[in-house]
Amino acid sequence: MTRGSSTARAAGIVTLVVAGLLGSAYVLGRSLVPDQAPRDATGVTTSADGPHYADQPSVGEPGGAPRASASASSDAGPAETGQDGSGQDAGGDKLFGAHATTGSPRLALTFDDGPDPRYTPQVLALLREYDVRATFCVVGENAQNHPDLVQSIVNDGHTLCNHSWHHDVGLGARSADAIRTDLLRTNAAIRAAVPDAPIVWYRQPGGAWTYPVVSVARQLGMTPLHWSVDPSDWDLPGASKITATVLTQAAPGSVVLLHDAGGDRQGTVDALRRILPDLTARFELEALPTDPT
């Protein structure tokens, strides 16, 4: 064997050893990197803090799956409504008779996705400070997990609204029996906490209205409830933007969409602290009636 071939063989052995060491180092490094938190189908990172919902407003279509849409968001402006409080969004999609205004000069604050042990008590305390009654659209699983907060909502004189069991944006595309089961299960969880409290409103998650979900809600004695002012607080724009949107768009008869759960709602709480002095000076605020007929 020549000297040149021995040198080449030695170089090849060294190369293989280095490659092996690099591969082992890569595997070791990957094992030390923590797994990323799983994301649900909505793209919201889940955690042990409780349910997180991406409550992006959308408008349902009859006979089809609800589609995500920004047409009902604050960028599109208030919904156009008929004399009975039902109406269409600015894009022309029907709300299937869902109420988008109070039907009176009074303004209604509504809070979705709760109750939540971190944010709902803060919202209740601020409403109590300004002697304001509101409407809370509660998710069934959260009502079941926090019956004491449902009781606090009712004890403070606020109105309750069914917001489905698990914040199912696609509920309206399911069968009538599936919709009925979901809504009844949610009502049962609410009534387990507050047996005598009326539940006469239903809000479809995401505003994804379809004829079947509206029809079943009405059959169960609940009036579908939409909104006319949406500051998109579900998208965490910050307290200043939430405040500006609500104060700019609020008008007599407005139904304002806010959230006290479903994610980090501290921005909403901070905005509410700024919003209430202005709104109470300009409008009469009301909890939606428990006899909407």
* Residue that the structure tokens 């059959």 belong to: 219
By the 8 A CB rule, do 123 and 116 touch?
no
- Residue 142, both tokens: 């959260």
Catalytic, out of 55, 89, 93, 112: 112
In whole angstroms, what separates CA 255 from the centre of its chain?
A: 15
Catalytic residue at 291?
A: no
Which residues have a Cβ under 8 Å from the Cβ of 66 and sit 6 or more positions away?
A: 58, 59, 60, 169, 170, 172, 173, 206, 208, 209, 210
By the 8 A CB rule, do 84 and 95 touch?
no
**Length of the chain, in residues:** 293
Catalytic, out of 52, 146, 163, 259: 259
In whole angstroms, what separates CA 20 from the centre of its chain?
A: 51
* Residue that the structure tokens 């299937």 belong to: 96
Tell me the sheet residues that pair with 224.
Answer: 202
- Residue 252, both tokens: 């007599």
Main-chain phi, psi angles of 47, to 5 degrees: -155, 180
What's 209-234 look like in SS3? CCHHHHHHHHHCCCEEECCCECCCHH
Q: What is the DSSP letter of 205?
A: G
Catalytic residue at 259?
A: yes
CA 95 to CA 223: how far, in whole Å?
A: 12
Active site residues: 112, 259
